[in-house]
Amino acid sequence: MSIFHQKDHRQELIERLKEDYINELQLSEQLKYHAETARYPQFCAKLLSLAESEKKQAAIIKGLLEKLSAAAPNEIPAVSIEKGRNLFQALSRDLEMDNQDYFHYYERIFEAETEGLTEILPTLNQLRKEEDEHRQTLRSILQKLNPYQV
């Protein structure tokens, strides 16, 4: 047994990308549910568009995993949607999830750079930028729904 153990950063990156893949699909389902149950038609189209974009991001991550000779998870855990929450509370939770994803992409970029996987850096950066756009859209909706406006 070696005293000095070199971490397998490539495998860690693959495992984290698998988690990101699952998170993107779950967030897509949540946003789709919120769009279908929202009683505000002006937000339905935006939420459905975000849900579709999250699904596309999952497909991009699946492509990254294939580039790294790994398979995307076959089974996606069921989404736990809290049905007792109002739209403002639900979207606030979705925004928290999207915030985490946004910062996770910075971590993925660093990990890929560390491993010398420069060919996937532009894709990871694209995903990070798209997450930022999603956050801005969710913030915009939340500002309009804010029950605590002064």
Going from the C-alpha of 121 to that of each of 44, 105, 113, 134, the distances in angstroms are 33, 10, 7, 20
Which CATH number is 9-73+82-145 given?
A: 1.20.1260.10
Rg (CA), the chain: 17
pLDDT, tens digit (0-9, with 9 covering 90-100), for 53-82 = 999 999 999 999 999 989 998 888 877 766
Please give the DSSP secondary-structure letter assigned to residue 6.
-
Top pLDDT among 42 and 61 is at 61
Give the residue extent of every domain in the chain.
9-73+82-145
Q: pTM (2 decimals)?
A: 0.84
pLDDT, tens digit (0-9, with 9 covering 90-100), for 76-99 = 887 776 665 678 888 888 888 888
C-beta separation of 120 from 16 below 8 A:
no
- At residue 57, φ and ψ (nearest 5 deg) are -65, -40
